[in-house]
A and B are shown apart, each in its own frame.
Chain A
Amino acid sequence: MTAMSMNAAVRSAMEVMLERDPSVVVTGEDVGWFGGVFRCTDGLQQRFGDRRVVDAPIAEGGIVGAAIGMGVHGLRPVVEIQFADYVYPAMDQLISEAARLRHRSAGEFHAPITVRMPCGGGIHGGQTHSQSPEALFAHVCGLTTVVPSDPYDAKGLLIAAIESDDPVIFLEPKRLYSGPFDGHHDRPVVPWSEHPRGEVPDGHYTVPLGRAEVRRPGDDLTVLAYGTMVHVALAAAEATGIDAEVVDVRTIVPLDLDTIEDSVRRTGRCVVVHEATRTAGFGAELVASVQEACFHHLEAPVERVTGWDVPYPHAQEWDYFPGPERVAAAYRRALEA
C-alpha cells in the first residue's frame, strides 16, 4: 500500500495495465513526453515507449475514432480527453460507433476502449474546463459510465474499465485529484495522504463496475451522490448532525439499483446530489428510479441538489457549485416534509 493522490492512482492503474497486458496502449493530447496536463500519465512513455503511450493531435473525434480502430484490431486503448468539456467533437464516434459496434455487428466487432476525462469545477476553469457531462453518456445505450470518488476506487475501477470488453467512459472529478474536496473551498486543502481511501495497493486489483458503495451508514435519509459530491454530502451530514446514509453510486451505467433501493426503503427519504446542470441530469434518472421502486416507502418528496441550468461561471463558481450549505438545506427539507 502506498499513499496516492487520485491522479497518481489513475497513473498507477495505467502503469499496472501497460505492464500486464501488451494490448494496452495510452493515447491523448500531451499524454506522452509531457505526462498529461494533470500528470496522470507522468513517466509512462519513458517506461513503455512512444508506441504504447502515444501523443495525439488535437482532434478528439480523431483520437476516439482511431482508438476504435485499434480496439477492433485487438488493442485496449486508454484514451485521455484533456478535459471532459473537450469531448464533444468525439460524440459521434462514441455514440454511433463505440457504443453500438458490438450490437450492430451482432458481435462480429467490438471496441474495448476506455475514455478518461477530468470533469467538474472548482479550479476556476470557467465554462470550458468545468463541465460534468455524465448524463449525456448515461443516455447512450452501450456505454458504461464511471465516476470514482477517491484514489482507491479510481485505480480499481480504472483497471476494471480497461479490462472490460465494453467501451467505458471514465470521468475523473479533477477537484478530487489532490484531496477529498468537500466543497469548503475556503479551507486548506486536505491531501489524500490523510484519508484512508488514499491508501492504494501498488499492484493489480479491481473494483467491480456496477456496484455502489455506502460511504456513511445512516438512518435519517439516503443521499445518492458520486464523484466530488460524495465528499460534499458527507460534510453536510457532519455539519447538520443529520444521520444521512451516503451512497456513492460510482457507476452511473450499469446502475446498482439494489443498493440504492435497500437504503431508500430503510430510510424512507432520499436526496440526490450532482454537480452537473439540473434539467435532464442524471439525478432525474435516479429520482425516477427511486420513486418507481420505493414509492410506498417514501415519506417525503425526493430532493434534488444540482448545479444551476447555466454555463459554469468563472468568477462565481462557488455560487454555482452545489456546496455543503445547499446540500444541508435539502437534507432539512427532506426531513421536515
Chain B
Amino acid sequence: MVDAAPPHRWLLGPPARPGDEPDFSWLHVPPAGSVGRPDPDVPAGDVRDLASTLVRVLDDDGDAVGPWDPHLEADELRQALRSMLATRAYDARMLSAQRQGKTSFYVSSTGEEAVSVGQAMVFRAGDMYFPTYRQQGFLIARGYPLVTMMCQVLSNEKDPLRGRQMPVMYASRDAGFFSVSGNLATQFVQAVGWAMAEAITGGDAVAFGTVGEGATAEGDVHHGLTFAAVYRPPVVLNIVNNQWAISSFQTVAGGGEATFAQRGTGYGLHSLRADGNDLLAVVGVTRWAVERARAGLGPTLVEWVTYRGAAHSTSDDPSRYRPADEWEAWPLGDPVERLREHLVRLGEWDDDRHAALLARVDADVAAAAAEAESYGTLLDDRHADPRTMFDDVHAELHPSLRRQRDQLSAELEARSAGRREEREAAP
C-alpha cells in the first residue's frame, strides 16, 4: 500500500467531533442591521447577495437595529417570549413523559423555537402551514390547546389522530397546520401546490412550506423550488438549517460550498438567509416574504440559520457525533435569552417578571399534562377502539375492509372472552 492521500476530494465533515473544541469559525456573522431591506417588488436578480449574508436585527447588546426591525409592540414581544418559553417547557414535559414510558418517542425543538413562533406571529387565519416535525412552537404560538397536543403525543382516548400516528405528527385544519409527515420533505412541494391552488382560485392566503436543511437533499425540495419558480405562487419556503440531521452535519446535505439559500437563487427565486435565533429577524423577514406573496409578487425562499440544541429525538444520542458543548459555543446564541435581553434593554422586562412568567408557563404545562394523562397514556389501554383503524382509509369503508374489521372484532371478542374466563377461573 502506498501511504499517500487519494487524489480526489470527498465528503466534507463537521469541523468538530466529540472531544474537539467546537468550531464555528466558518460562520460569518455580519453586524445586526447591516443588511439592506429592498422593496418587496425588487427583481430576484438584484438581491442575490441576500442569499449569502445573514439578516439580523438584535445586536449583541440586545438592541433592535436596522431596516428589518419589525417594530413589535412590547406586548407582542412578551407574547413571543411566552410562546417560546411555553414551547421549551412543553418539550421538557413531553421528553420526561417519554422517559417514563408514557409515550414511545418525542422530538424537541430546543434552540430553534424562534423560527416557528416568529412565523406563527405573521401567519393569518386562512393561510396554511406545511410543517416538519419540529414546528410545535407554531401550534403553541397560535394558541392551539396544549392538552390536545399532549393527547396526540400520549396516543390516549382523546388523541385527535386516534392512535394512528407516532408522537408529534400533529394535524389541524382549523389551526392551518398541515398533517406532519414522517417521509421528509414531501410537504415542501405540497405547500407550493396549495399556493398554486390559491393562485387559481384568486385568494390572498399564503402557504408556508418548511423543511430541514438535511431533507433539502430530497427530490421533493427541488420539485418545490422548480414549481415555485415556474408558477410563482404565493408561498414562503423555509429551510430551517439547524446544522444537524441526526448525525449528519449540514455539509452532508449541501456540500458546504454554497448556502442553502443560494440554491434558491439558482432557480431564480428571491432567496434570503437570516438569523433564525433572532425572533425579530424571523418576524421581519417573514413579513417581507408574506407581503410579496399577498401582493402577487410570488414565492420567497428563506434559510433560517439556527442550531439544534437538543438531540434529534428521544432515539438519538448526539454525544456520539458532536462536541457536548457545541450549543454553548453557537455564535447566534439562544433565541429565548436574546429576546429576554431585548425586553430588558427596552425597560419592559426584569428578572422578577421573567421568573414569574417561567413559573406560570410551567404551571400551565403541568396542568395540561395532568389533564392529558387523565385520558390515558401509551402505558394503559385507553386508546381509540382498535376497530377505528379501518376508518378513514377511504372516504367510505370498502367491502374488503368491512370483512377485515369483522375479523378483528372476532379476535377482540375472543380475547376479551378469554380474559373473562381467566378471571372466573381464578380463585
Contacts and interface: CB of A to CB of B under 8 A. Distances in A.
Nearest to B194: A69
Contacts of A255: 400
A87 interface: no
B179 to A, nearest CB: 4
Contacts of A75: 197, 200-201
Contacts of B393: 102-103, 141-142
B6 interface: no
A61 B196 contact: no
A85 interface: no
B53 to A, nearest CB: 29
A93 B130 CA distance: 15
A70 B193 contact: yes
Interface in A32-54: 51-52
B395 A164 contact: yes
Interface residues of A, number: 45
A257 interface: yes
B33 to A, nearest CB: 36
Interface stretch (B96-104, B224-232, B296-304): B224-232
Contacts of A51: 199-200
Interface string B174-200: 000011010100100111111111111
B399 A73 contact: no
B200 A25 contact: yes
Interface in A259-274: none
B269 interface: no
Interface in B140-194: 160-162, 164-165, 169, 171-173, 178-179, 181, 183, 186, 189-194
A254 interface: yes
B223 interface: yes
A97 B183 CA distance: 8
B178 A65 contact: no
A25 B197 CA distance: 9
Given A57-B227, A89-B219, A93-B186, A70 B395 contact: no
Contact of B227 (A62, A74, A97): A62
A305 B400 CA distance: 25
Interface stretch (A3-11, A107-115, A324-332): A107-115
B197 A70 contact: yes
B64 interface: no
B394 A68 contact: no
A67 B226 CA distance: 14
Contacts of B195: 69
B274 interface: no
Nearest to A52: B200
A62 B226 contact: yes
Given A62-B224, A257-B400, A106 B164 contact: yes
A303 interface: no
A62 B198 CA distance: 17
B161 A105 contact: yes
B422 interface: no
Contact of A65 (B172, B189, B199): B189
B239 interface: no
A65 B179 contact: no
A96 B186 contact: yes
A101 interface: yes
A164 to B, nearest CB: 7
B398 interface: yes
Contacts of B161: 104-106
B326 interface: no
Contacts of A62: 189, 220, 223-224, 226-227
Contacts of B46: none
Nearest to A111: B190
A119 B427 CA distance: 66
A65 B394 contact: no
B183 A108 contact: no
A165 interface: yes
Contact of A106 (B178, B392, B395): B392
Contact of A73 (B128, B179, B183): B128
Contacts of A253: 398
A74 B197 contact: yes
Given A66-B192, A75-B197, A210-B398, A108 B172 contact: yes
A262 to B, nearest CB: 14
Contact of A68 (B173, B193, B227): B193
A166 B189 contact: no
A93 B266 CA distance: 25
Contacts of B160: 106, 108
A72 B178 contact: yes
A62 B199 CA distance: 17
Given A73-B128, A255-B400, A102 B181 contact: no
Contacts of B394: 102, 142, 144, 166, 254
Contact of B226 (A57, A89, A92): A57
A59 interface: yes
27 contacts: A57-B227, A59-B223, A62-B227, A66-B192, A66-B193, A68-B190, A69-B196, A69-B207, A71-B193, A72-B178, A73-B193, A73-B194, A75-B201, A89-B219, A96-B181, A96-B183, A96-B186, A97-B183, A102-B395, A103-B164, A103-B393, A104-B179, A106-B160, A106-B171, A110-B395, A210-B398, A254-B394
Interface of A: 25, 51-52, 57, 59, 61-62, 65-75, 89, 92-93, 96-97, 101-110, 141-142, 144, 164-166, 210, 253-255, 257-258
Given A57-B226, A106-B160, 8 more contacts: A59-B223, A59-B226, A61-B219, A61-B223, A66-B227, A69-B196, A102-B392, A108-B172
